[in-house]
Amino acid sequence: MRRRLCIQEKVLGVSRFIAALFTIVLCFSGPASAIDAELWGKPLSFMGIIKQGVSYGIAGDQYDTQKGIQSLLTQIVLETKYDPNPDTSFFLSGKFNADQAYPVLSGNNEWREKGFDKSRNHLYILDDWQDVLGEAHGTWKKDDFYFRVGKQLVRWGETDGFRLMDQINPLDSRRGITDVEYENTIIPTWLVRAEYRPPTRPDWMQDLNYQFIFNPNPKFRGNEGILTGNERMGIWAPMVDIPLGGAYPLDYAHLGESISNIEKPSDFSTDGFAYAGRITANIWDARISLNGYYGRSLDYVSRATGAAVASTSRYDNRLILSPFYEGYYPYFKFVGATFTKDITSLRADFLGSVSPVLRLETFYAFNSTFVNSSSEYVKHDEFRGATGMDWKVKVPLLNEKSYFSISPQIYLQKIMNYPSERYALSGSGLYENNWTTTLMLSTSYFHTKLQPSFFWSRDWTNQSGFCRYQLIWEHSNTWKYTLGALVVAGDKVGQGYEPLEHKDHVYFNVAYKF
């Protein structure tokens, strides 16, 4: 009886989803483009994206995931831009981000027994005004100076997927690692940005640009990371088992939501200010930047402070332990550089005669804060570096019209003066040398409408990783359909991606853009 009820609820959920999609299709049938209007005789444009997705869990019956339909993400982004004169512009964007799985699966027993329904307050609709308001900024240009003030995005670095120097805006991982398009996961921040392009330069240099960023810390916000506990993180909660040594149900406990006291800099307080500077130029046809950053880290450090609160899971009667943590956002200071160049000497005719573009990004951070295995805050310098290549090769047997794009990357995080005891920083999940690689492959067929891609990320230090297989059908410049699958694997318990091992799922998205 209970099973039949679940099926009925699931069918009802899918029906609602299909109905919602159908409504969107009806409302926006036919090609469209940005809506252009005028305000006081000057151009005003509106743009937007409406996207509905569904993901289907394929990891089987696990405590930390939902079988079958597990997520129904609705995302709406509306943007408007106003240009009162060629040197001034204003931009405003708003977002609606909701997971319809919460109302649709609210009556589902599996969903409730695993405690996913308890994360509804956090994850059903991201309705904090800071989430609803996307970017909101004004831009002024005066001669060789350029200013932008407001809630904005500033991206640094040359690496895809890893955030090395890209530390100015926090990252939002509340919807997991692949459910949301990457561009929508960066959280705009209130910043003052000033740039200066000196008019005279030597012959061998061009596009010289000085950039200065000041974060006045009107409201501190760090990365929205993947937190523990089904009741906090929903279907993206990591699976962390705490051995208890007894017989079932006391063989192990589930790690629940952390009860954390994370200290943040208060609004507009000077200790929350951040300063960043960058110089970029093209020198002898290579693009180079020098970067420096001083401010709070976007990731907090934390340590356990006492006994955990226990409750019992309705799913398997095991204990759920919710530990107490305290922590803070430490200072983060680095100097770094990037280098990009077209390496013409590596152009090979038999591969299609496209030369690769080499990308390097590296920084050295001073006195970064970590937690050691004794729950102490310790400071070490660290080096982070990544190199990648963007290469296109021709494989006529597989695709006679388009190239295959191949982008491999390798990333190293090295902790300087690493403690002699092995795993001394295991609280941070970090070793002395931490290696990760990624590989992105993509191509296109049918007049670039069909775009298959494959992405593989491997954390070699923690022997874990994930693969994403994706197929995009770009029906028109307004309608886009995406079908994909994510498969996660890990060998070291509790390390790297292993706690996300049950997050395997397939997903399908429909996006309408105007």
Residues at the interface with another protein (CB under 8 A): 31, 33-34, 36, 38, 43, 47-49, 86-87, 89, 139, 141, 144, 146, 153-155, 157-158, 160, 181-183, 186, 195, 197, 199, 203, 206-207, 209, 280, 282, 285, 287, 340-342, 344, 347, 349-350, 352-357, 390, 392, 394, 396, 400-403, 444, 446-449, 474-478, 513-514
CB of 392 to another protein, least distance (A): 5
CB of 93 to another protein, least distance (A): 12
CB of 462 to another protein, least distance (A): 27
Distances (CA, A) of 343 to 260, 317, 351, 359, 391: 49, 59, 15, 10, 10
CB of 452 to another protein, least distance (A): 15
Closer residue to another protein in complex, CB, 62/355: 355
CB of 472 to another protein, least distance (A): 11
Closer residue to another protein in complex, CB, 205/416: 205
State the DSSP code for 48. Answer: E
Q: Rounded distance, CA 423 to CA 414, Å?
A: 14
Nearest in space to 88 (alpha carbons), one of 45, 137, 41 = 137
Q: Rounded distance, CA 36 to CA 6, Å?
A: 47
Cis geometry, peptide bond prior to residue 356 (ω within 30 degrees of 0) = no
Closer residue to another protein in complex, CB, 69/298: 298
Please give the span between the terminal C-alpha atoms of the chain, in angstroms, as a whole number. 46
Closer residue to another protein in complex, CB, 146/294: 146
CB of 218 to another protein, least distance (A): 21
CB of 439 to another protein, least distance (A): 18
Q: Rounded distance, CA 70 to CA 105, Å?
A: 8
Instruction: Decide: 70 and 235 in contact? Cβ < 8 Å.
Output: yes
CB of 466 to another protein, least distance (A): 21
Closer residue to another protein in complex, CB, 175/318: 175
Closer residue to another protein in complex, CB, 196/460: 196
Closer residue to another protein in complex, CB, 52/89: 89
Closer residue to another protein in complex, CB, 8/33: 33
What is the full DSSP assignment across 276-300?
EEEEEEEETTEEEEEEEEEEE-SS-
Token pair, residue 103, equals: 């109302």
List the helix and strand counts (H, then E) for the chain: 6, 25
Interior/surface letters 39-67, b for 16+ CB within 10 angstroms, e for the rest: eeeeebeebbbbbbbbbbbbbeebbbbbb
Closer residue to another protein in complex, CB, 393/489: 393
Q: Which is it for strands 464-474 and 301-312: parallel, antiparallel or unpaired?
A: unpaired
Q: Which residue has the tokens 């939501």?
A: 257
Nearest in space to 507 (alpha carbons), one of 487, 491, 489, 485 = 485
CB of 161 to another protein, least distance (A): 11
